[in-house]
Amino acid sequence: MSNSFSKEERVAFEDILEGFNDALVLSRNVSVYNTDGSMMERTNNVIYRPQPYIAQSFDGMDQTSNFTAYTQLSVPATLGFQKSVPFILDALELRDALQEGRLGDAAKQKLASDINIAIMNSAANLGSLVVTVSTAAGDYDDIAACDSIMNEQGVQAFDRYLALCSRDYNGIAGNIAGGATGGGASRSFSGNKSNNAFERSYVGMVAGFETYKLDYSNRILAATGADPTMSTLAAANNYYVPVATQTAVTGETQNVDNRFQTITVSSTTDLPAGTPIEITGVEAVHHITKQGTGFSKTFRIVSVVNATTCVITPPIISAQGGTDAELQYQNCIVTAAAGRTVNRLNADDAPINCFWQKDALEILPGRYAVPSDAGVAVMRGSTDQGIEVVMQKQYDVNTMKTKYRLDTLFGVVNKQPEMSGILLFNQTP
């Protein structure tokens, strides 16, 4: 057992794991789904996760014609992230490097950052609820607008989170602290709330969201060029009919990812991936009651297919086809007319602040089957979220150098883009 871990190395790994737990800010606020390693290997690390059912109700006693099967939608989730931090220590460096924890701290910081970034990308790139504010951050109403758009569309009113870039978070904190901080009009809060905002730039719970400050965030660029148009929204290719499965030409039944729709527009030249849009004549509805909200439905451009077609999320489910699945999952009301404008909402460059309901985002911890009897020492540990960290060590007698590596395997999926969104400040129309 020449490659077994020393007591110092074991202590160092325990410290790494403890710090790793503390650093996973975003992953603590998303759902976790644990997978079976053997099953995931057989399915090429892909598993379909169900979206929530939405039921219909009918009037009267006689329901003979209403006993139909519900359409269960699902989305693919993949163990697609394999992150590793390798390093080498020679016989001289080993005397204090591990005890000092310098390399361990750097490793845990990077791996935790990788996980947080994966979650943020999932929210920032697919979140379809879009809130724009014309001014800089600094008012309760800014966050309350995120609460409103979620409430209007029937998103659960619990376990809501908002991750803000540092400047926008501090702008909100300045408002809580009051006029003395230069953050705007003074507000009357209890002493602790104002003191924490003033002394620590801490916001906490606002408008139903638990808020978090990010030291990095994705950015969106200002829209350029002209807004494109769509052909009539009554055209079959411009509204979407959800289906649970489809049959391939080989006869195999496959699940369908109903988060996306390919639409036809006049030009995709100025519609890069990530663009937040509204479409004239498409009104959002409450997902349960199907009542119109009076506000436009917002979408995101996911990818560009060619000069006139692109993929959006969510799909335009307006129930124009009248199928049971459309009636269950209707998310908008369409006023049919030709030449509808695709209005881009990113008027200016800005950081992307993400908000979500916990069930919208999901992390899938994975596990490596690393042999423990192949001449390499192996230690394992799991975070509170079940994310496994593996530390391996191998000594080379020829060079008196020891190889170390820390690894983690995980997946992230945005199961429901309509339960997550983005908040953009300084958007001057």
At residue 179 the predicted structure's pLDDT band, cuts being 50, 70 and 90, is very low
The whole-angstrom separation of Cα 28 and Cα 24 is: 6
DSSP state of 347: -
Return the amino acid letter for 395: Y
Q: Shortest CA distance to 120 belongs to which of 424, 425, 354?
A: 354
Q: Measured between alpha carbons, how far is 172 from 175 in angstroms, rounded to an integer?
A: 5
Measured distance CA(410)–CA(116) in Å, rounded: 12
Secondary structure of 225-259 in HEC code, one letter for each residue: CCCCEECCCCCHHHCCCCCCEEECCCCCEEECECC
Top pLDDT among 235 and 195 is at 235
Residue 141 banded pLDDT, cuts 50, 70, 90: confident
Query: Which residue in the block uniquely carries the two structure tokens 């460096």?
Result: 93
- Judged against a pLDDT cut of 90, whether residue 323 lies above it is answered with no
- The gap from C-alpha 324 to its chain's centroid, in whole angstroms, comes to 29
State whether residue 420 is helix, strand or coil.
Answer: strand
Flag whether pLDDT at 192 surpasses 60. Answer: no
pLDDT tens digits along 7-58: 666 766 777 777 676 667 777 888 888 877 777 777 778 888 877 655 556 6
For 369-411, what is each residue's pLDDT tens digit? 888 777 788 888 887 778 888 888 888 889 988 888 889 999 9
Q: Is 298 helix (H, G, I), strand (E, B) or coil?
A: strand
**Is residue 344 very low, low, confident or very high in pLDDT (cuts 50, 70, 90)?**
very high
**Placement of tokens 């989170």 in the chain:** 161
Q: In this predicted structure, what is the pLDDT of residue 412?
A: 92
Residue 183 has pLDDT above 50, yes or no: no
pLDDT value for 188: 44
pLDDT of amino acid 140:
84
- Choose among 383, 429, 428, 374: nearest CA to 409: 383
Angle between helices 140-152 and 166-177 (to 10 degrees): 110
Phi/psi for 384 (5° steps) reads: -60, -25
Which run of H or of E encompasses 8?
helix 7-23
